[in-house]
Amino acid sequence: MDKARVLRSIEGAFLREDLPEVVPGDLVRVYFKVIEGEKERVQVFEGLVIAVKNSGVNKSFTVRKVSFGVGIERTFPFHSPRIERIEILRRGKVRRAKLYYLREKSAKESRIEEKRES
Amino acid sequence: MKTVRYGMIGEKVGMTRVFDQSGLAVPVTVIKCGPCYVVQKRSKEKEGYQALQLGYGEIKERKINKPRLGHLKKAGVPALRFLAEFRWDRLEEYQVGQVLKVDGFQVGDRVDVTGTSKGKGFQGVVRRYGYGGGPKTHGSMFYREPGSIGATDPERVFKGKGLPGGMGGETVTVKNLEVVAVHPERDLLLVKGALPGPAGSKVLVRKRAS
C-alpha cells in the first residue's frame, strides 16, 4: 500500500479546483462565508497577497490590507469550503515569495508594480 | 477490561486534514482498517471471559510458523500477520471465519485506539521527564543533569524517581476519538486527532460498548 497515495486520494475530495491561482503580489478580493449564530453571510476581504504557504489541502495564503492606518492581515485556508470565490484584481510584479517586508513600509513605499505579460 | 461493541486491527497510514460540513478544518489520522477475520471465540464457559480473536494482514503462508498456520487453518482463514484479542460485547452475533469490515464503524462513533509509540531510545531526564536542567552559561557546569535524587535520611532512592532510561516504544491508548469518515470500499477509517506510533504501524481500534 502506498501511504502517500492513499492520503492524497483522501485530500483530493476537498481540493478546490474552481478557484483561481493565488500568487504573492496579487491584489485579491476574497469572498468568505462567515456564520453568525444561525445566519450565514459573505464577508469581503480585499488586500495584497503577501504569502502562500504549504501545498495540497494545507495550502493557505495571507492577505494584507491597511484599514484606517492599521495594517490588517488575514490568513485563509485556500481549500476551505467557506471561501465562496476569489477575485484577482491585479497581478503584481514581485521578486520574492514572502512579502513580509511590506509590514515595515508606508503605504507609499508598498506600491507594487503591475506584472506585464511578455 | 471493558468490552467493545466493535473492534478491528488496522494500520496507521498517516495524518491529513479534512473539512467538515461547517467548513472547519479537522485534523485526522487515516487508518487502513481490515478486512479482519474472526479467528477464535473465547467464551465464559471455557476461558472464563468472552472475547474474539481477530486477525489482519494477509501474507504468504511460508512467512508464518506452522503452529500459527495450523491455528489459522482451523478457523478457515488465510495466513495473517497479526492476531489480537478484543473483549467482545455481543459474541453470539459472530462466527469463526467471519470477515469484519470498517462498515461496523459509523461517522460520529467514539473509539479508543491502541498502538505502540515511537521509540526514542535511551533518553536523559530533561527529555524523558521534562526536568528543567541547569543554566547553560555563567560557568554553571550543570547542564542536563537530574540533580539530587533524594535526601540522605531514607538512605535509598524512592521508587518511581525519574532517572535516565529507555523512552517510547510503549503501548499507548488514545481514548474517545471521533470517527470522522468511513470508506468501506477502500477499508479506510478517518479518526480525529493523532495516534501513537509511526505510519505503517499496527493499531487496534475499539468501539466502546455503551
Rounded to two decimals, the ipTM of the complex is 0.81
Query: Are B49 and B143 in a shared domain?
Result: no
- Are B63 and B108 in a shared domain? yes
What is the rounded CA–CA span in Å between residue B195 and residue B188? Answer: 15
Which residues in chain A have Cβ-Cβ distances shorter than 8 Å to B30? 6-7, 10
B75-114: b (≥16 Cβ within 10 Å) or e: bebebbeebbbbbbbeeeeeeeeeebebebbeeebebbbb
Across chain B, mean pLDDT equals 93
Q: Which pLDDT tens digit goes with each residue over A13-32?
A: 899 999 999 999 999 999 99
Same domain, B200 and B98: yes
Grid coordinates of B69: 498456520
Domain that holds residue B17: 7-120+172-207
* One domain for residues B61 and B147: no
CB pairs under 8 A between A and B: 42
- Are residues B110 and B200 located together in one domain of the fold? yes
- What is the structure's pLDDT at B142? 95
Instruction: Tell me: pLDDT of B131 over 90.
Output: yes
Question: How sure is the predictor about A107, in pLDDT bands with cuts at 50, 70 and 90?
Answer: low
**Domains in chain B, number:** 2
Locate B117 and state its grid cell: 509509540
CA-wise closest residue to B58 among B36, B30, B38:
B36
Provide, as residue numbers in chain B, all residues whose Cβ is less than 8 Å from the Cβ of A32.
none
Same domain, B146 and B160: yes
Do B34 and B134 reside in the same domain of the chain?
no
When pLDDT is averaged across residues B131-148 and rounded to a whole number, the result is 94
Separation in Å, CA of B78 to nearest CA in chain A = 19
Positive or negative, the CA dihedral B25, B115, B60, B79 is negative
User: Is the residue at B18 inside a domain?
Assistant: yes
* β-bridge mates for residue A33, sequence order: A42
pLDDT at B2: 72
Shared-domain flag, residues B154 and B183: no
Average pLDDT over residues A55-78: 92
Mutating which of B19, B31, B33 best tests the A interface, going by the most A Cβ atoms within 10 A?
Answer: B19
Tens-place pLDDT, residues B162-193: 999 999 999 999 999 999 999 999 999 999 99
Residues B20 and B84 occupy one common structural domain: yes
**Could you tell me if B182 and B86 lie in one domain?**
yes
Are B62 and B160 contained in the same domain?
A: no
Q: Are residues B32 and B83 located together in one domain of the fold?
A: yes
pTM for this model (two decimals)? 0.85
